A = this chain, B = another copy of it.
Amino acid sequence: MRVYNFNGGPAAISQSVLERVANETLDWNGTGMSIMENSHRAKEVVDMANKVNQDIKELLGLSEEWKVLFCQGGASLQFAMVALNFAPNGAPCDYINTGLWSTKAFLEAKLCGAGARLAASSEADAFTYIPSEFDFSKDSNYVYLTSNNTVRGTQWSAFPKNAPAPLIADFSSDFLSRTVDFSPFALVFAGAQKNLGPAGLTIVLVRENFLQKGAKNIPHMLDYHTYLEHESMYNTPPVHAIYVSGLVLDWLKNSIGGLKAIEKINRAKAADLYAAIDDSFGFYRGTARKDSRSLMNVTFRLPSEELEKNFLSLAKKEGMVGLNGHRSVGGIRASLYNAVPVEAVMALISFMKEFQKKNG
């Protein structure tokens, strides 16, 4: 029996995608082999990877100047790559700190020798909001931000205007979940394991002219030039993760109807769940400031940790899993990524009402 999967990531994948993965496991695309057994240089695999590349650009409406790269190592490796490529030798760069992941990105940039400084931070208020005032440096190479914050349940709705440098952003947890105007951005990356596919693949979108300005003489696997010049096949890429991501993109395009359609669904799911929280007379308390609430990760608390424990345990019994908050903050977190269906959210809301009735 399939459960309702509210995992923060790795996260839910559409059942129709998984059914196709299962059916193709012994013989993919008429090759007589699993996708895992095919050479990454076989024409069928190269074509498949190119299709993933094109579908991402098409879904996001990216112009020709944007390149899609397939990396490994997750956002954590991007934290280092961004700094090594675009702020080498102490070059200045600005970071906006909205939580655990941007803190890590900032510290990693410093570790890599970048001249990283904070242009804004909501740390003093426990990262409960997205800042709207910034102290940008004038000579920054880039301004870094985290588009959606999985731990504290906040999300940028409008990105900084008039930043003095191009934006670089970690979109790991809201990639492909809504339409975004990428004009202020130069580079965007996303671990696949939230809205796209299995862990082990990181998508990088980068403007070619920005990439070309990047440092050279850094290790090949950390140098964006390597991925551009070799079409992400300098060495063997994570073929299976690219393949599953391709099926998810196909589902998003053809079953859902693209980004506008999924955004509408995602906004409705989040609105319903936040309404259930706000209408609970304080039994459930959202942790993020209302103007900064995430459409992807709905974080809330109950009157006591004991009730939270009971809530999680009962929910699991009713087939709703992954509702625990991030281990660094506790509480409840319902992640409502693209593949979490409306009925899962409806089931959760009913459960919450029932739970409050018994324990409120």
Contact = CB atoms under 8 A, between A and B. Distances in A.
Interface of A: 1-3, 5, 7-13, 15, 18-19, 21-23, 25-27, 31-34, 36-41, 72-77, 79-80, 84, 108, 111-112, 191, 193, 197-201, 217-222, 234-241, 244, 319, 321-322, 327
B27 A1 contact: yes
Contacts of A15: 26
Contacts of A239: 10, 198-200
Nearest to A216: B111
27 contacts: A7-B33, A7-B38, A10-B36, A10-B39, A18-B25, A19-B25, A19-B26, A21-B25, A22-B22, A36-B197, A39-B322, A72-B73, A72-B74, A72-B77, A72-B200, A73-B73, A75-B235, A80-B221, A80-B222, A108-B220, A111-B218, A111-B219, A112-B219, A198-B239, A199-B237, A200-B239, A238-B238
Given A1-B27, A2-B26, A112-B219, A38 B19 contact: no
B10 A199 contact: no
A293 B36 CA distance: 27
- The oligomer's copy count stands at 2
A80 to B, nearest CB: 4
Contacts of A238: 72, 198-200, 238, 241
Given A1-B32, A5-B33, A200-B200, 13 more contacts: A3-B33, A5-B32, A11-B37, A72-B73, A73-B77, A73-B235, A80-B222, A111-B218, A198-B239, A199-B236, A199-B237, A200-B201, A219-B222
Contact of A240 (B84, B112, B200, B222): B200
Contacts of A23: 22
Given A191-B236, A199-B237, A36 B244 contact: yes
Contact of A34 (B13, B27, B201): B13
Contacts of A222: 80, 219, 222
A319 B32 contact: yes
A145 to B, nearest CB: 19
Contacts of A240: 198-200, 240-241
Contacts of A41: 327
A110 to B, nearest CB: 11
A23 B322 CA distance: 23
A18 B32 contact: no
A111 B37 contact: no
